């Protein structure tokens, strides 16, 4: 199956700093990528949808100036958590959809962000 | 978004079948039924999907009720590696977004 990677897998940062998380589709072109957040023992919450070359569409309640998403190529999307605070600590997961794959999304392994 | 209801948890013995129910009484005609699973500290993994007919693949089977208001994911022979949270999701045919509910935590006993 198609592979999606995320980097870094874990990051610890100080409050007030910005953190960039990369999501790459390794063996396919991803026309659409999705970003999710998951708190401990909770389900995934969709944050935004990004299409290559377009601005991301954010879900209600997600601050677009706080969570900057860039999808500059068909294999790479980045999520930047700006001015991170302890409440932003979470598991961030991306997924990607291949143009020809109508039904299946391929998920990355996730990035554990801890803000001190 | 149409909602799904799943039991919080289920236990199974290794090598026995597991039947995971999902209720989706408000399903619309354009909703596909998707199942994903998430192993601890990993991203979700696609399991199976269907619209009206029962479906089989190498991982599982999906049995869909005739009125489509419920479905059952069947793991034919559970292994320890099948211990995960299983999510039943309705995806509108008009977009590709997935809305995850609480899911069912499956525990497999050796």
List pLDDT tens digits, range A28-62: 888 899 999 999 989 999 999 998 888 899 999 99
Q: Which residues of A54-87 are buried (b: 16+ CB within 10 A; e: fewer)?
A: eebebeeebeeeebbbebeebbebbbebeebeee
Query: Which residues of chain A does B103 touch, with a Cβ-Cβ cutoff of 8 Å?
Result: 43
What proportion of chain A, given as a percentage, has pLDDT over 90? 77
Between A45, A103, A110, which is nearest B42 by CB?
A: A110
CB-based contact B102 A43, cutoff 8 Å = yes
Residues with pLDDT less than 50, chain B = none
Query: Torsions phi, psi of A87, nearest 5?
Result: -70, -10
- Name the minimum distance, in Å, from the CA of B43 to any CA of chain A: 5
pLDDT of A2 over the 90 cut: no
Q: CA–CA separation, B85 vs B36, rounded Å?
A: 8
Query: Quick one: pLDDT at residue B83?
Result: 97
Asked if the Cβ–Cβ distance from A97 to B96 is below 8 Å, we say: yes
How far does Cα A53 stand from its chain's mean position? 16
**What is residue B2's predicted lDDT score, i.e. its pLDDT?**
59
Peptide bond preceding A8: is omega within 30 degrees of 0, i.e. cis? Answer: yes
Given this model, what pLDDT does residue B64 score?
Answer: 97
Q: Is the pLDDT of residue A102 over 70?
A: no
* Nearest beta carbon to residue A105 from set B32, B98, B103: B98
Residue B1 is predicted with a pLDDT of: 55
Q: Report which secondary-structure segment, H or E, holds A65.
A: none
What percent of chain A has a predicted confidence (pLDDT) above 70? 97
Answer yes or no: do A109 and B43 touch at CB < 8 A: yes
Tens-place pLDDT, residues B34-45: 999 999 999 999
Kindly determine whether residue A43 and residue B32, on different chains, have CB atoms separated by under 8 Å.
no
- B-chain CB neighbours of A93 within 8 Å are 43-44
Closest-CA residue of B relative to A102 is B96
Chain B: give the shortest CA distance to residue A87, in Å. 19
A105 vs B99: CB contact, 8 Å cut-off? no
């Amino acid at each position: 199956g198609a592979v999606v990677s995320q980097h870094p897998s874990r990051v610890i940062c100080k409050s007030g700093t910005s953190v960039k998380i990369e999501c790459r589709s390794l063996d396919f072109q991803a026309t659409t990528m999705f970003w999710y957040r998951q708190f401990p023992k909770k389900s995934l919450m969709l944050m935004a949808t990004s299409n290559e070359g377009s601005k991301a569409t954010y879900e209600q309640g997600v601050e677009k100036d706080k969570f900057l998403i860039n999808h500059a190529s068909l294999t790479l999307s980045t999520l930047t958590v700006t001015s991170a605070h302890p409440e932003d600590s979470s598991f961030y997961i991306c997924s990607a959809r291949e143009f020809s794959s109508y039904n299946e999304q391929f998920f990355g392994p996730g990035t554990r962000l801890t803000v001190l | 978004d149409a909602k799904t209801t799943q039991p919080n948890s289920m236990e199974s013995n290794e090598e026995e079948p597991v039947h995971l129910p999902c209720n989706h009484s408000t399903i619309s005609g354009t909703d596909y039924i998707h199942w994903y699973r998430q192993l601890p500290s990993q991203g979700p993994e696609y399991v199976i999907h269907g619209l009206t007919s029962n479906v089989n693949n190498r991982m599982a089977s999906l049995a869909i009720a005739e009125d489509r208001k419920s479905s059952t994911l069947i793991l034919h022979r559970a292994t320890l590696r099948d211990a995960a949270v299983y999510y039943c999701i309705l995806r509108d045919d008009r977009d590709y977004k997935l809305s995850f509910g609480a899911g069912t935590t499956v525990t497999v006993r050796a």
